[in-house]
Amino acid sequence: MVGYSRRRVLGGLGAGLAVAAWPGLAAAAGKALNRAALPNGGGSIPVIGMGTWRTFNVGGDPELREARTQVLAAFFEEGGGLIDSSPMYGSAQSVLGHGLEKLGYPDSLFAADKVWTRDGGATREQAAESSANWGLERFDLLQVHNLLAWEAHLETLQAMKEAGEVGAVGITTSHGRRLDQFERIMERHELDFIQLTYNIRDRWAEDRILPLAREKGIAVIANRPYQGGSLIRGVQRRGTPLPDWAGEIDCRTWADFLLKFIVSHPAVTCAIPATTSVEHVRENMAAGRGIMPDAAQRQRMIEALAEV
């Protein structure tokens, strides 16, 4: 994204050929998604992003790598921005780098990764390895993954941000782990982003974390938007139809319904569903368009899911 990352593979004939090989990317700019503002005048990003946990951990298999490149192409064709990964995710970073190089590193990319090591002195080393895997000169966002050795890593990440080596810094958790400590770090440290689990069933963050993020101007990434897929599988297995009023908020699929609940919260910046399917990417991205539910409609959404 302009103002944050610079892609070392961009420029000259190579980038032009990459875009030409994927003509759909040229049309992406005309497809507007709802966007959320970033802190400290950092611009904005589309409210639907992409996670890579498990889905991009495919090793060196050429067919699977090509399939993930197709997923990335669809994501950018639909106007996508933020992609999130981690050293914890096996080969996901290098598979991302492979696909992004083929696509010419689209300008809308907002690259988010994590530091995940118990060695508090290895922050820069791991960030450099991740950067090489992605094929980037620097990240838009680096996060301390699940608060592992968070004090040392966060101190280094802040220094990297001040030196212009990374655009923004943050911390992550999932499944509501270490909630009290997470809140204390938010209160006592300067953060640009937090990442946590938030979906229509897992709403524990609404009590303290999301209001605090809004108060302090911290951007929020919501992970596990489908509870690892169980929410989608549940309604599909039972053949549950969407509520007849779902069209009022431009919902045509359960993906629309579940993601719009998340990104309509005033504190949430972006949700990051993960998928291996081009069709599902397009369904996910559709949730970033059109009418968003208000507070009363969000309550109706909760009640609708409680009945299935």
Q: What is the pLDDT of residue 31?
A: 58
In 3D space, the residue among 56, 24, 39 whose CA is nearest the CA of residue 218 turns out to be: 39
**DSSP conformation letters of 222-263:** EE-TTTTTHHHHHHHHHTPPPPTTGGGGT--SHHHHHHHHHH
Band (pLDDT 50/70/90 cuts) for residue 24 is low
Q: Do the domain assignments include residue 55?
A: yes
Q: Do the domain assignments include residue 27?
A: no
Q: Which range of residues forms the domain containing residue 111?
A: 34-306
- What is the distance between the alpha carbons of residues 4 and 95, in angstroms, rounded to a whole number? 22
Average pLDDT value for residue range 16-30: 47
Q: Do the domain assignments include residue 11?
A: no
Q: What is the pLDDT of residue 202?
A: 95
Q: What is the pLDDT of residue 2?
A: 34
Residues 6+ apart with CB under 8 A from 10: 104, 105
pLDDT tens by residue, 35-88: 999 987 889 999 999 999 999 999 999 999 999 999 999 999 999 999 999 999
Average pLDDT value for residue range 232-260: 93
pLDDT tens by residue, 148-170: 999 999 999 999 999 999 999 99
Q: Residue 244 belongs to a domain with what CATH number?
A: 3.20.20.100
* Residues β-bridged to residue 222: 196, 271
Q: Do the domain assignments include residue 168?
A: yes
Confidence check: pLDDT of 251 > 50: yes
pLDDT tens by residue, 85-120: 999 999 999 999 999 999 999 999 999 999 999 999
| Integer Rg of the chain from CA | 19
Q: Do the domain assignments include residue 29?
A: no
Q: Do the domain assignments include residue 21?
A: no
Is the pLDDT higher at 27 or at 24? 24
Based on the structure, what is the number of domains in the chain? 1
Q: Do the domain assignments include residue 13?
A: no
Tokens of 71: 């997923």
Confidence check: pLDDT of 3 > 60: no
Q: What is the pLDDT of residue 124?
A: 98
Question: Scanning the structure block, which residue is given the tokens 């933020």?
Answer: 82
